Amino acid sequence: MKKGKLIIGIVFLLLGVALVATPLTIERMHAKEVNALEKAFATIEAGDQPETGGSQERKWSEEELAETMKLEIPSIELEQYVLNQTTADNLAIALTQIKADQDPAKDNFSIAGHRGYRGDRFFRQLPEVKPGAEIKLQDKDATYIYEVNNVEIVEPDDIAILENGDNPKITLVTCTLSGKQRVAVTGELTEIVPKS
């Protein structure tokens, strides 16, 4: 009887260790990919070529980096990269464009991001954004400045928030804490600052 309880206790202990270690291991792998992305950007900014192929960590091509944008929301101290394609791998390391071929100067530029369960990565603080806040989206040509005009909770199948309207705008989307609905932050384009 004691031997059976000991075995059950050991099994539960090992299960607990696995449950704690798994998300930490996944987060560590994602952090390595984020670091690789940041390193590639630093290399490009220094005028050098990014590494390609080789080690297990993902390498970024100049083409991928040229299509990557940067999103800034000063009111919540957010500064994140925006990859041009929404895939599970991309969402694990950065924010992503929801629709292909979006033009921030003309369209409803929509961005998705995980809420993140630790730290301030991704869109963890997005629900704290208030109307009137400033959003900056930077690409290789310009910085697009938006003013937040709406923060709302929507259903996951509400695609109307992604449709283009008469004026260019930005829509940022993440899950609610329960994961059953979405937080949608929208802002109107107020200024385009070309890169010098």
CB 60 within 8 A of CB 40: yes
Which amino acid, one-letter code, is at 96? T
d(CA 114, CA 86): 11
DSSP, collapsed to helix, strand or coil, labels residue 53 as: coil
d(CA 193, CA 73): 16
d(CA 109, CA 106): 8
**Would you tell me how many other CB atoms lie within 10 Å of the CB of residue 176?**
14
d(CA 184, CA 15): 37
30 is catalytic: no
Residue in the block written with tokens 């979006």: 102
CB 170 within 8 A of CB 187: yes
Q: Tell me which of 72, 175, 181, 188 is the catalytic residue.
A: 175
72 is catalytic: no
Q: Tell me which of 114, 124, 169, 182 is the catalytic residue.
A: 114
Burial of 93 from C-beta contacts in 10 A (0-12 / 13-18 / 19+): buried
* Residues acting as catalytic residues: 114, 175
